[in-house]
Amino acid sequence: MTPQILILIIVAVILIYALSTHGQKEKSEADHIRDQFKMKKEASVNEDVVTYGHVQERKQELFDVIDANLGDHPTQSAQLKDIISDWADLKVKSFENRRSWVRNPKKDSESED
């Protein structure tokens, strides 16, 4: 074999190797992104999705339990009620924010003005 053919074969092998490893790297990155997307999707599917009414029902149930069991401790009772109210507000806001592009089209038009 002549040295030129040998060099040509070596260069061809290096190019083939470089192209194949580059494709594998991109594929592994794409697989990683797809897996992250699947995990986020599964997490949102398993998330406790509730409506405003459900949150208010649960909030009232918890208030009733506090009133029944912590009547002798008004300060702690008030603190727990504040915490539960904050939780309920956050739950409702997170539900609205997640669905805002569907449920609040007027919000988008207000922000454009």
Q: What pLDDT tens digit does each residue of the chain (113 aa) get?
A: 688 888 899 999 988 888 777 777 777 888 888 888 888 777 666 556 567 788 889 999 999 998 888 888 889 989 999 999 998 988 888 777 766 555 555 555 555 54
Q: What counts of helices (H) and strands (E) characterise the chain?
A: 5, 0
Q: Is 87 left (phi over 0), alpha (psi -120 to 50) or beta?
A: alpha
